[in-house]
Amino acid sequence: MNAELTQCPKTAGGRRLVCITGASGAIYGIRTIQALRESGCEVHTVASAWGERVVVEETGKPFSTWMNDFAVSQNQIYDCRDFAAPIASGSFPLDASVIVPCSMSSVGAIASGVCQNVIHRAALVCLKEARPLVIVSRESPLSLIDLRNLTTLAEAGATILPASPAFYHNPASMDDLVDFVVGKILDHLHVEHRLFKRWGSVETPSARNV
């Protein structure tokens, strides 16, 4: 068997899939793609119909314009209705995937094994192939249905990473808050970054204050 067909081609930072759905917090998805590109990763990406709508509502710019700005290759941007896209198959090598932000609708679809679009299919492929899958959920408060669906995904191997920034790194701006969440995402995608100061490093506020 040709090893190139079964292993991820070794681009500098590897290959990641970033999916954007219609939850609030589109900027987390956009910034994740930007940070992965800056880290030298090959980024494949897809937005749901409502994901595209929320990107415009919250950032004032269409998803396609952002992707153009980050020089994401056109053949690595998928149509969410396209179940024939490479990411729909386990034979397509990916190092890790993230859905950011992830709506409760998509959480429910994936937790019940229903593929309403290629994002759900790619997530289920990720789970069956035992690859890292990060779900950046965004809803508040959570209903019992949401909690049960998130538990199902966690039990199936996904990492549930709610879009909830911390404050112990003394954020001075919205960018700092966004970068904290994005940094946590990159940690779980196994990508090195310097998006926030880590607790216990000499740079942390606590170290500076003593």
- Quick note: the x/- pattern for ligand FMN over 60-99, rule CB under 6 A, is ----------------------------------------
Which of 30, 104, 185, 189 touches ligand FMN (CB under 6 A)? 104
Which of 50, 70, 83, 92 touches ligand FMN (CB under 6 A)? 50
Residues 72 and 52: their CA atoms lie apart, in Å, by: 16
Which SS3 state, helix, strand or coil, does residue 57 take? helix
- How many residues touch ligand FMN under the rule CB under 6 A: the total is 16
Q: Euclidean distance between the first and final Cα of the chain, in Å?
A: 59
- Quick note: the x/- pattern for ligand FMN over 138-177, rule CB under 6 A, is xx--------------------------------------
- Residue 136 Cβ vs ligand FMN, minimum distance, rounded to whole Å: 11
User: How many other C-beta atoms lie within 10 A of the C-beta of residue 116?
Assistant: 15
Residues 207 and 209: their CA atoms lie apart, in Å, by: 6
- Residue 42 Cβ vs ligand FMN, minimum distance, rounded to whole Å: 24
Q: Which is nearer to ligand FMN, 45 or 106 (CB)?
A: 106
User: How many other C-beta atoms lie within 10 A of the C-beta of residue 82?
Assistant: 14
Measured from each CB, the residue nearest to ligand FMN is 22
CA dihedral 178, 195, 31, 177 (to 10 degrees): 10
Which of 21, 97, 149, 159 touches ligand FMN (CB under 6 A)? 21
Binding site for ligand FMN (CB under 6 A): 21-24, 48, 50-51, 53-54, 57, 103-106, 138-139
